[in-house]
Every structure is written in structure tokens, then in C-alpha cells.
Amino acid sequence: MRNQDPAQLIAGVRGGDRLRLAQAITWVENEHPRAVELLAALYPCGGGSHIIGVTGAPGSGKSTLVTALARAIRAAGQTVAIVAIDPTSPFTGGAILGDRVRMRALSGDPGVFIRSMATRGSLGGLSKTTGGVITVLDAAGFDRILVETVGVGQAEVEIASTAHTTVVVEAPGLGDEIQAIKAGILEIADLLVVNKADRPGADKTVQALAMMLELDGTHARPRRHHGRLVPDSQAATGTPAHAGQGESRDDARWRVEVLKTVASTEEGVETLRQRIEAHRDWLLETGEWTAREHLRAAHAVEALLRAELERRIRAQWAALDVRALVEAVAQRRQDPYHAAQRLLAGH
Amino acid sequence: MRNQDPAQLIAGVRGGDRLRLAQAITWVENEHPRAVELLAALYPCGGGSHIIGVTGAPGSGKSTLVTALARAIRAAGQTVAIVAIDPTSPFTGGAILGDRVRMRALSGDPGVFIRSMATRGSLGGLSKTTGGVITVLDAAGFDRILVETVGVGQAEVEIASTAHTTVVVEAPGLGDEIQAIKAGILEIADLLVVNKADRPGADKTVQALAMMLELDGTHARPRRHHGRLVPDSQAATGTPAHAGQGESRDDARWRVEVLKTVASTEEGVETLRQRIEAHRDWLLETGEWTAREHLRAAHAVEALLRAELERRIRAQWAALDVRALVEAVAQRRQDPYHAAQRLLAGH
């Protein structure tokens, strides 16, 4: 397996060979010298998977929910891949919690593929590597791909740019600060789930979310592209099939719902699966699927551009002697603003 | 006030004029065209403030703790500024929770200055704007500057590169996922605080953290620079005063402690303040202060470089027609890897 070439991996991924699929993903994660070649070849084979982002605050139980959802997807006769992204430790990596539990619940089923990834706290890590892993799984022909992230800060924005359907998971009584986070999360959610719904306060949380949706009024708005290099006007060229007439028609819009689940007992999980399918149908019927494919493409290109620019800048910098300038700034003989300008000017 | 020039603001900031101080910070936040001029002039006046980062998971009660700590600092006869960074909503901004409570507890005291900032989920936002705000407050002569961030993902790494002393706040029983986050947080903490220590499970959390510190063994290690452009070897030129002899001596190392507080009753807060002062003394005695000033300078220069490069790239991109390429990628006629290469090559 060590001296695989991309052609063998491509054939393996396309042909359902699990060992080669795992190895292809490892190439992507480790930035193997030939990973780009592999991904470029696999990309055209993709486009068939429905990519579902599941994001939520720590403690919302989203790992358990993702596991239960995968079982429901399998029960409905579809294949499913799970990508769990763990941004916990930027330094040590850090193990994925609940991973062993998940493995046990789904093990032995050839229609399920699970991969956990540590991003080491890097955002670039999320967009760059996750995009590649999704490309591989998409080419491998999984019907559904579940991408699980801890939804705090930037991660939930990233996932919304990567997924067709974004599920935001909450739990009752996670405190005021979490409540505030919701304000941002509402704008990316296609479906809201209050998990651990058997706990006290669940109905209150559902009501609060429903009220926020009502007040917000943005939940039915077409999704924006949140990247920075590629402007909205250029990225969102996927015009809905019924544009012009549909713009103000309520039935052409997706109404975000608040669902209740108890992932540990699988209560409400099949309903969640069905609502995800309903969202998929809506995407396809309204032409919004095409629009999201454009956003996903724009996001992918931008992430790659950033990574390449970063690499070039770093290479350029290695040649300069930054030390003296940083020392001058530390001793306040030079301010950082002029120091940065001098470095940019090549001294 | 509208047509201020930088000279007036500089004089105001240096002279203790609160209105001009607030306006200078607004210039920084809004990226006023003359903000860089202002900051470059203020930077050499700084260096006197002890910058204390306070980071912790949502629900740890760090806002209340920061307020209590500010009161303790005032009681000890020092002036204090609070910068509260709110990354909650990347889209809508979002109000800082507990802000009104804080204002009430500290209002009317001319030795306290409070500023809340929404970063809209952007990391660049944290490093770029916060650095500038700290430059202004430092030049204004505050003895202590408390920088409060939600410590999930990247934010805690950023704060460790910006502060002299980093306090990581935990609370009992925040669930397993939070526990995992600690693994990364341990490496940036100079002091660990278990807040809400009157709650069940506090001692268990203290013991767990103490054990993790013991196992980790990295807590006494000199801090690394977590930026990417400026390599460690170039950034950390601030050699400790007793280098050579101190390297392996245990007493030259800072031992991270786990403290208990109940911020709402101010229990343990004065002890925390004293331990922060002890850390400051340690920094100054060992020469580690100088090393951290170097890291802070390297971080500041790097953040500015990134921002400027981002601006240049965006300007360059605006000229290109990205639309056709993104459409080709969305329709899988082109893969994103070759699309990015073509864009980089200028077509």
C-alpha cells in the first residue's frame, strides 16, 4: 500500500475499496505531494452526495445525534459517511470524544464510513482539508455525507459554505452565553434541533428559538457567500429556476423549523432525517441546489487560493531577516505599522 | 469632535481625556483612514501596562470574574481597562452579555475604562483590532489591561500571543467536550481558575485540572510563538536574563496553579489578583517579560502583514472575472485545484 499511485487510489475510491478510500483521505490530511493530483481527478466524479453539516455548541450532544442520524439514514436504505471535525486542541491534536461509542453503534456495516479529523484549532484546516475529504467521499458515491463540527465562532460559518443542508443542534439550559451564540447560528441553520429534549427546559428552548426565528426574519433568505475573496455577486450565479416570480413568494422559501430529539434513545431522529430529506427536495425543486453548488465551488476555490498564497508568503518570508525588525518593535524603537510596511516593501 | 486630527487624539489619550480615548478606539475599530497614523504615534508611548488575557468556555462566568478582578485591582490602587471581545455572532454583531451588569458594578470610577468589541466571528478581527485597542490603552497609561475572550478554538491562542499573563477560566461540570478543550488550553494558561467554585463538582474539576497539569508537564515550558509567518527561532530573541544557568533550574520556571473563585461573591478574587501579580514579578525577574514582549511584537507585525496582504489580494481579485471559473467548478467541468492555479497565474 505504501507506494500507491493516484490511479490505483482513484480506482479504489470509485470501486468501493475501503482500504484505498481510507488511504486517499490520509493523503489529503497529510498533504501528500500527489494529493492534489488525486483530488483533481476525483472531483469530476462527485456531485451525487447530499452534504449535511451538523454543528452545535459543546455539550449539545451532536456526536450522539450524528450517530443516530447515520443509523436512520442506513435504515432508509442509503449509504452514509461521517466526517467529525475536532477543533479542541490546537496544540496536541486531541482525541475525538464519543468516537468509540460511535464506532460500536455503527461497526460492521459496510454502508457506513467514519472519519475523525483534528484541525488543531486552525480554520484553514477546516476549509482546506475538509473540502478535500468531502471530495473523496463524494467521488466514492456515498448517498449522504454528515460533517460534524463544534459550532462556536468561525466553524459554523465554514460548514454552511461547505454543506447543502446545515443542521444546528442546541440543548436545553446551556446558559446565557450560548443563547447569544444562537443569534449568529440562526442565520446559517436550515434546521434547528433541540437535542436532549427529555431534559427540563426543552420546551422553553424550543419556544425561544422559534421566537428568535420569528423576530429574525432572515431564516428564509437565500444564503450568502461568506468568503472574502470571491464577492457575492460573482459567486452566487446559480439563479433559482423560478427567479423573478419566486423572489417574494412565500412558498418558494424554506421555513426553518425547530425539531426536538433525544439522540440517546433515537427519539425524533427519524423525523429529523425526513426533514433533512424535505430540505433536499426543496433545494432541488427551487433551483437552490444549483445556487448552493456555486457557493460551495466559490468557497472551495477561495480556500485553495488562500492556502497557496499563504505558502508563497511563507516561502518569501523565510528569506528575510525579520529578527532585527521584531526586536526593534519589542523595544518600541519602531512601531509595528511601519515595520510591517518595511517588510512588505522588501526592506 | 468629528474633525479631530490624530495629534488632538494623541494628546487626549496621553492626557487622560476619556472622550478622546473612546474616540481613538472607535477610529481603530472602524479602520479610520488615519488610524494607522494614530497608532504608530501612540505605540512608542506604551509598554507600561500589564496585559492580562482572561479566556474561558461559554458558561464559565468569566465576564463576572473579570468585573470582580477589576474591582480588586482598583482596591489595590491601580487603574484598569477592560476589553471584552465578543465573537458570538459573525453576522449581526450581537450584544455583549453581562455588560450592563458590569457597567453598574464599576460605573462612576474614573480609574476604570470598559470597552466591548464584536469581532463578528473573524479571527483577523481579534488580532488586528484588539492589538490596536491595546496599543491605545497602553499609551493611555492604564496599569492593568484585562482582555476577555471566549476561549474556544483559535481565540485562546490569539490571546496568549497578545497578553503577558493568560488566565484560563473553567467551571465545574461543563461536560465532556469542554474537558477535552482543556487539553489545548493548558498549554497557554499561566493561571487556571475554577470559577463557580461553590457548585457541586468544583473540587473534582480542580483535581482533574491539577492532574492534567501534572501529566502534561508542558506548563512550565517557555511560551512558543503561535504565529505562522515569523518562525520561533526568529521571534523569541528575548533571551532570559539568566539564560544558560536557568534553563534547567526548576525555580526559574513558572508553576501553573489551579485557583478557585466564586466571582459573584468575589470569593478568591483577591487571591487571584495576587497570583497574577506574582506572575508579573516572575516575568520581570526571569527576563521572561522581555521574551514575551518579543512574541507580542512578532505577533503584532504578523497580524498587520496578514491584513495588508489580504487587502492587496482582494484588490487584485476584483479585477478578474472569477464568475466563469466558479461556474465551471460548480458544474464540475473544472476542478477547484486547477481553477485556483489558473487564478493565481492571472489566467
How close, in Å, is residue A237 to chain B by CA atoms?
7
Note the helical H segments in chain B: 6-14, 18-29, 35-42, 62-75, 99-106, 123-139, 155-162, 176-185, 202-216, 232-235, 269-286, 288-318, 322-330, 336-344
Average pLDDT score over residue span B137-157: 81
Instruction: Tell me the chain A residues in contact with residue B313 when contact means C-beta distances shorter than 8 Å.
Output: 229, 309
Enumerate residues 184 to 203 of chain B having a beta carbon within 8 A of any beta carbon in chain A.
Answer: 184, 187
Which CA distances in Å does A13 have to A128, A135, A141, B336? Answer: 20, 11, 9, 19
**Does the beta-carbon distance from A153 to B97 stay under 8 Å?**
no
Average pLDDT score over residue span B123-135: 72
Report chain B's mean pLDDT, rounded to a whole number. 79
Which residues are registered as beta bridge partners of A115? Answer: A83
Q: What is the pLDDT of residues A201-255, one digit of tens each?
A: 888 888 878 877 776 555 444 454 444 455 444 343 333 333 333 344 455 789 8
**Does the beta-carbon distance from A327 to B155 stay under 8 Å?**
no
- Residue in the block written with cell 474537558: B179
Contact A59/B at CB under 8 A:
yes
Contact A214/B at CB under 8 A:
no
Which residues are registered as beta bridge partners of A168? Answer: A55, A192
Instruction: Tell me the chain A residues in contact with residue B94 when contact means C-beta distances shorter than 8 Å.
Output: 180, 183-184
- CB-based burial, B237-265: b 16+ in 10 Å, e otherwise: bbebeeeeebeeeeebbbebbbbbbbbee
Contact A294/B at CB under 8 A:
yes
From the list A91, A180, A226, the residue facing B88 with the nearest CB is A180
Q: Decide the pairing of beta strands B112-118 and B80-86.
A: parallel
Average pLDDT score over residue span B27-45: 93
Task: Name the least confident of A133-137, A226-230, B6-10.
Answer: A226-230
Determine phi and psi for B248, rounding to 5 degrees: -110, 5
Find out whether A140 and A16 touch, Cβ atoms under 8 Å: yes
Contact B2/A at CB under 8 A:
no
Please indicate whether residue A228 or residue A104 has the higher confidence score (pLDDT): A104
Direct distance between the N- and C-terminal alpha carbons of chain B, in angstroms, rounded to an integer:
48
Q: What is the pLDDT of residues B314-340, one digit of tens each?
A: 666 666 777 888 889 999 999 998 888
**Does the beta-carbon distance from B152 to A150 stay under 8 Å?**
yes
Q: What is the pLDDT of residues B59-69, one digit of tens each?
A: 788 889 999 99
pLDDT at A188 over 80: yes
pLDDT score, position B7: 94
From the list A58, A176, A298, the residue facing B57 with the nearest CB is A58
**Does the beta-carbon distance from B336 to A175 stay under 8 Å?**
no
pLDDT score, position A87: 57
Cell of residue B171, nine digits: 467551571
Find out whether A299 and A225 touch, Cβ atoms under 8 Å: yes
Q: How many whole angstroms separate alpha carbon A197 and alpha carbon A271?
A: 14
Instruction: Tell me the chain B residues in contact with residue A155 when contact means C-beta distances shorter than 8 Å.
Output: 153
Q: Which of B36, B150, B152, B321 to mutate to test the interface with A (most CBs of A within 10 A)?
A: B152
Report chain A's mean pLDDT, rounded to a whole number. 79
Give the global pTM. Answer: 0.66
Cell of residue B8, nine digits: 488632538
Find out whether A261 and A269 touch, Cβ atoms under 8 Å: yes
Average pLDDT score over residue span B254-271: 95
Which CA distances in Å does A63 have to A71, A83, A201? Answer: 13, 11, 21
Q: How confident is the model at residue B280 (pLDDT cuts 50, 70, 90)?
A: very high
- Domains located in chain A, CATH noted: 1-45 (no CATH), 46-220+231-287 (3.40.50.300)
Centre a 10 Å sphere on the Cβ of residue A318 and count the other Cβ atoms it contains.
11
How close, in Å, is residue B113 to chain A by CA atoms?
23
